[in-house]
């Protein structure tokens, strides 16, 4: 029971955590799969199934066009199955294709040209990005944003900022050539650049000063588990005049949402780059248990508002991950289609089968590793409670 209450996150309620987790995952998965479904229908492809979850069907119905809409027992994803697909991974069923009547081939996914197939596959991740942008734009337009100007109130002794020569009252203008408008803009760049030198320009007493600082590694615990971030060691100005309330027109809210979404993509790619280089640790990766705890914590802290924000964040993550060029994921299909477009013919059935097997193994290992990380984090949390 202690284990289950720990999964419950800050709420201590397993029920609320599970509900929050299912809401987050269901919305993100539904939008992703609906992107595939909608573009597939536009391209005239028949859809045999639209599933939220895997495994045994819990509830479902069949629409007028023969698509089986269903919710299944294992809520860790979903799929759209088109006419001609062998399974949920959209692997072609060659035997079925060979026996398929000529009139049915026009609605078969494998018989579409490579441009249509690529558009249908890419529509899933694109739908995720659109969802995130819509959420962030809505928050920007209806709530605006309270931001701090990037002015330094104090420099922590012994910090990277002190070593670099930062001083109180400095106004940060740029970081590595990128314009800084808010204190959060600076924090975003610094937190993802631990151990890497950054070039700063600051305004000091009416003059521009160039500084170079290398953020220190700091380990912190978040709702997603352990994270290592970069820390400069400066405090934001406490002067009330440093707080600005930004309001947005509809167009301005949309532009700011696109920037916010791109920042999340860029930060994720940077983390992966640093992970491959050995700078970041893989124990920061979280799986389903970590996402469930984050969902419960978000709902407990900020209610529906925080939960919707988490949906936006998760939608960007799911969309980006699915674009990785790993067979089985959408990016793997797009890679195969790119090769087909260059060669003028698809890869052999055997080559595609080997690719999908490798992709399945990679995805399965990643899921197991992330789940193991979640269990280790739960164990650490349990030990800290006991002490």
Task: Give the residue from 194, 217, 246 where a domain finishes.
Answer: 246
Q: Are residues 238 and 330 in the same domain?
A: no
CA 91 – CA 105 distance, rounded (Å)? 16
pLDDT in tens, 300-323: 777 788 889 889 999 999 999 999
**Average pLDDT of 42-63?**
94
Q: Is residue 33 part of a domain?
A: yes
Task: Give the residue from 246, 262, 290 where a domain finishes.
Answer: 246
Q: Is residue 286 part of a domain?
A: no
Helix (H) or strand (E) holding 206: none
The string over 50-65, giving b where at least 16 C-beta atoms fall within 10 Å of a residue's C-beta and e elsewhere, is bbbbeeeeeeeeeeee
**The domain that contains 229 carries what CATH number?**
2.30.42.10
Q: Are 326 and 359 in contact (CB under 8 A)?
A: yes
Q: Are residues 105 and 184 in the same domain?
A: no
Q: Beta partners for 180?
A: none
Q: What angle do CA 355, 49, 100 make, to 5 degrees?
A: 70
Q: Is residue 292 part of a domain?
A: no
Look at residue 188 in the predicted model and tell me its pLDDT: 86
Strands (E), the chain: 47-62, 68-82, 145-148, 152-155, 171-175, 178-179, 198-204, 207-213, 216-222, 225-231, 234-236, 243-246
Q: Is residue 184 part of a domain?
A: yes
CB within 8 Å of 204: residues ≥ 6 apart: 167, 169, 170, 171
Structural domain count, the chain? 2
pLDDT band at 27 (very low <50, low <70, confident <90, very high): very high
Q: Is residue 81 part of a domain?
A: yes
Looking at residue 16, the DSSP 8-state letter turns out to be: H
pLDDT in tens, 348-367: 878 888 888 888 888 888 88
Residue, of 92 and 61, whose pLDDT is higher: 61
The pLDDT mean for the chain works out to 84
**Average pLDDT of 233-255?**
89
Lowest-pLDDT choice from 67-71, 77-81, 82-86, 91-95: 91-95
Which one of the listed residues 33, 219, 280, 340 is annotated catalytic?
Answer: 33
Q: Return the percentage of the chain with pLDDT > 90, whole number.
A: 47
**Average pLDDT of 187-214?**
91
Structural domain for 24, as ranges:
2-141+310-386
Whole-prediction pTM: 0.82
Task: Give the residue from 246, 277, 293 where a domain finishes.
Answer: 246
Confirm whether 33 is a catalytic residue: yes
Q: What angle do CA 128, 224, 284 make, to 5 degrees?
A: 100
Q: Are residues 152 and 107 in the same domain?
A: no
Q: Is residue 299 part of a domain?
A: no
Q: Are residues 99 and 184 in the same domain?
A: no
DSSP-derived secondary structure for 95-117? HHHHH--GGGGGG-GGGS-HHHH
Q: Are residues 121 and 221 in the same domain?
A: no
Q: Beta partners for 228?
A: 219
């Amino acid at each position: 029971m202690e284990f289950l209450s720990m999964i419950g996150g800050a709420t201590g309620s397993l029920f609320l955590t599970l509900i929050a987790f299912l809401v987050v995952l269901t919305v993100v998965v539904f939008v992703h799969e609906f992107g595939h479904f909608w573009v597939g229908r536009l391209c005239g492809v028949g859809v045999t199934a639209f599933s939220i979850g895997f495994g045994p069907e819990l509830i479902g119905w069949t629409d007028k066009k023969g698509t089986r809409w269903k919710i299944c027992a294992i809520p860790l994803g979903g799929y759209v199955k088109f006419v001609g697909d062998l399974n949920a991974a959209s692997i072609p069923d060659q035997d079925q294709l060979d026996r398929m009547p000529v009139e049915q081939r026009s609605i078969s996914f494998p018989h579409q040209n490579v441009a249509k197939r690529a558009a249908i596959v890419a529509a899933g991740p694109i739908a995720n990005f659109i969802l995130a942008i819509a959420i962030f734009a809505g928050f920007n337009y209806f709530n605006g944003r309270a931001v701090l100007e990037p002015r330094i109130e104090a420099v922590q002794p012994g910090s990277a900022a002190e070593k670099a020569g930062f001083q109180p009252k400095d106004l940060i203008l740029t970081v590595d050539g990128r314009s800084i408008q808010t204190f959060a803009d600076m924090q975003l760049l610094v937190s993802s650049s631990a151990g890497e030198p950054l070039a700063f320009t600051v305004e000091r007493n009416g003059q521009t000063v160039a500084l170079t600082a290398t953020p220190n590694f700091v380990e912190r615990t978040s709702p997603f588990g352990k994270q290592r971030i970069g820390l400069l060691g400066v405090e934001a100005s406490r002067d009330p005049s440093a707080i600005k309330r930004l309001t947005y027109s509809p167009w301005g809210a949309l532009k700011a949402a696109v920037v916010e979404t791109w920042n999340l993509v860029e930060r994720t790619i940077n983390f992966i780059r640093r992970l491959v280089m050995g700078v970041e640790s893989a124990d920061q990766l979280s799986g389903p248990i970590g996402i469930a705890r984050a969902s419960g914590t978000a709902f407990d802290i900020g209610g529906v508002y925080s939960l919707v924000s988490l949906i936006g964040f998760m939608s960007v993550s799911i969309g980006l991950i699915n674009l990785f060029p790993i067979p089985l994921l959408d990016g793997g299909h797009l890679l195969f289609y790119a090769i087909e477009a260059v060669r003028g013919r698809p890869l052999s059935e055997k080559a595609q089968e080997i690719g999908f097997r490798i992709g399945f193994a990679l995805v399965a290992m990643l899921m197991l590793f992330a789940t193991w990380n979640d269990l280790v984090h739960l164990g650490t949390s349990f030990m800290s409670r006991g002490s």
